[in-house]
Structure 1
Amino acid sequence: MTAYLTRTIRRAGFVLAFAVSFSALSATSSFAFSAEAQQMCTGDAFRLCSDEIPNIPKITACMFKKRASLSTGCRAVMDRDLAQKSNKVAAQ
């Protein structure tokens, strides 16, 4: 029971750290993901890039590096967010 509780607390801590990291990432001007991307990609980040949590730049690099392994929903949302960001930069 104690091992299960420890594992649950650790996982909750990782989820919180990832959410905070992704929120901070969304606030930066260099790279922004929507709330939908956070929701769609959290599982992928834990599955593919858990070693990088909570380092935001490393999570981002890992997600791009492992793009082919992302879930369809996460990849679609990230691509859409990147396209929107590119359009904003091009308009300036």
Structure 2
Amino acid sequence: MLKTMNCGLAAIAFSIGLTGAASSYTRHQQQACQGDAMRLCGPVIPDHARIHSCLKAQRARISHACRAII
């Protein structure tokens, strides 16, 4: 239960971080990368710049939809 709660809080932080820090990203783009960010870059959420860097570094492991955006 604690893990589920932490994931929920991280998802909220991630979405707030992207909404505030990266208003140029569309909702579709945010959704395309949210799962990858949670799975691969959880420790850097909600820092948008670090999430972006992390996703770029993990490019081979992210979804095709997110890869197209990154």
Identity %: 31
TM-score, normalization by structure 2: 0.84
**Aligned partners of 2:58, 2:20: CA distance in 1, in Å?**
21
Superposed displacement of residue 10, structure 1? 1.6
Corresponding position of 1:12: 8
Q: RMSD over aligned Cα, in angstroms?
A: 1.5
**Aligned partners of 1:8, 1:70: CA distance in 2, in Å?**
22
Quick one: higher RCO (CA 8 Å, sep 6+), 1 or 2?
A: 2
**Aligned partners of 2:20, 2:52: CA distance in 1, in Å?**
12
TM-score, normalization by structure 1: 0.67
Gaps of 5+ in 1: 80-92
Once the two structures are overlaid, the 10-residue window that deviates more, 52-61 or 41-50, is 52-61
